[in-house]
């Protein structure tokens, strides 16, 4: 029994990968291996995977091998990355993707009128999930990519969710706001006041609160029954956004998207 204790103790917590105890079922272990990949770690070595997953190397070796054979991971040199199988599989996720597709034309309109990068977010648990993005015409490195998850308190879209979503969501988000830049607002009372203002004015802004030099402005996409389907926003780099020019455009687009989504009338937005 002492050997068992030792084993568990030595394993310790995974260095920074997926949290939680090591799962016993093979399937869960396989999936945990996939979990070790995220936007900051899209290329991992075998031992990276082992460390981040908390699984023994030998086990990882075998499971990773199966994933590679399947096509879910691909191996280049001694490193692994997500393969095209998973990519095309993920695209079948109709859930929110229908919304992205339907919103795209209106997002183009916003791009055409404002010349800024246009973002569409849905609420995913305690994060704003970047569902669709229309990049501006100037080829530059993007701040965020489709599929990224942003903090609710530090993104314009996120603030829209906090302002118009259920109160318990805001409560949870204001509990421990992370500081991301010197400008991030982490004081709960000040955040609460900001949300009040969002509700009054009808749009949310962030000024270099998530990324230095980047400003955001967003409006909620509200369904007929008042629920928030999504958040639509633009990003400006360098210069501050001018609400007078941007907000009306966003609001018209948001209303069109909501109407279109309602017409589709299948089932509502993101599962909580």
Partner DNA sequence: CGGCGCTTTCCACTCAGTGGAACCCGCCCT
Partner DNA sequence: AGGGCGGGTTCCACTGAGTGGAAAGCGCCG
Give the binding site for DNA (CB under 7 A): 7, 24-29, 45-48, 50, 55-59, 61-63, 78
List Cα–Cα distances, 132 to 101, 154, 216, 224, 239, in angstroms: 8, 19, 15, 22, 23
CB of 73 to a second copy, least distance (A): 10
Closest approach of a second copy to the CB of residue 76, in Å:
7
Which of a second copy, DNA, none does 267 bind, CB closer than 5 to 8 A by kind?
Answer: a second copy
CB 80 within 8 A of CB 64: yes
Q: Which of 129, 192, 193 is nearest to 157 (CA)?
A: 129
**Among a second copy, DNA, none, partner that 245 touches (CB below 5 to 8 angstroms by kind):** none
- DSSP, collapsed to helix, strand or coil, labels residue 234 as strand
* 109/246 Cα distance (integer angstroms): 12
Q: Look at the alpha carbons of 155, 159, 165, 171 in this order and tell me if their dihedral is positive or negative.
A: positive
How far apart are CB 175 and a second copy at their closest, in Å? 23
Q: Which is nearer to a second copy, 55 or 204 (CB)?
A: 55
Binding mask 145-164 for a second copy (x = CB under 8 A): xxxxx---------------
Ordered alpha helix ranges (H), 54-166? 57-70, 84-90, 94-114, 156-164
Residue 61 contacts which entry, a second copy, DNA, none (Cβ below 5-8 A, type-dependent):
DNA
- Among the listed residues 7, 81, 179, 240, the single contact to a second copy using CB under 8 A: 81
Q: Contact positions toward a second copy, by CB under 8 A?
A: 25-28, 30-31, 34-35, 37-43, 63, 66-67, 69-70, 72, 74, 76, 81-84, 86-97, 101-102, 104-105, 108-109, 111, 124, 129, 135-139, 142, 145-149, 260, 267, 270-272
């Amino acid at each position: 029994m002492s050997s068992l204790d030792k084993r568990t103790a030595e394993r310790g917590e995974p260095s920074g990968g997926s949290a939680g105890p090591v799962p016993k079922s093979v399937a869960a272990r396989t999936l945990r291996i996939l979990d070790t990949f995220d936007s900051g770690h899209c290329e991992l070595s075998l031992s990276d995977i082992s460390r981040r997953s908390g699984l023994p190397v030998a086990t990882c070796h075998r499971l990773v091998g199966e994933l590679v054979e399947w096509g879910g991971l691909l191996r280049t040199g001694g490193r692994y990355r997500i393969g095209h199988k998973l990519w095309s599989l993920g695209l079948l996720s109709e859930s929110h993707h229908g919304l992205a597709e339907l919103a795209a034309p209106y997002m183009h309109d916003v791009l055409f009128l404002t010349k800024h990068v246009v973002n569409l977010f849905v609420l995913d648990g305690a994060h704003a999930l970047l569902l669709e993005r229309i990049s501006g015409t100037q080829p530059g490195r993007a701040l965020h990519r489709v599929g990224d998850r942003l903090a609710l308190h530090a993104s314009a879209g996120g603030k829209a969710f906090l302002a118009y979503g259920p109160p318990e969501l805001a409560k949870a988000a204001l509990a421990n706001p992370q500081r991301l830049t010197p400008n991030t607002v982490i004081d709960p009372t000040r955040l609460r006041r900001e949300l009040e203002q969002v509700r009054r004015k009808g749009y949310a802004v962030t000024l270099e609160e998530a990324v230095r030099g980047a400003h955001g402005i967003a409006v909620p996409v509200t369904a007929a029954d008042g629920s928030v389907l999504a958040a639509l926003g633009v990003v400006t780099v360098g210069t501050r956004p001018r609400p007078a020019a941007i907000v009306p455009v966003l609001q018209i687009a948001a209303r069109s998207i909501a109407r279109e989504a309602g017409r589709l009338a299948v089932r509502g937005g993101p599962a909580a």
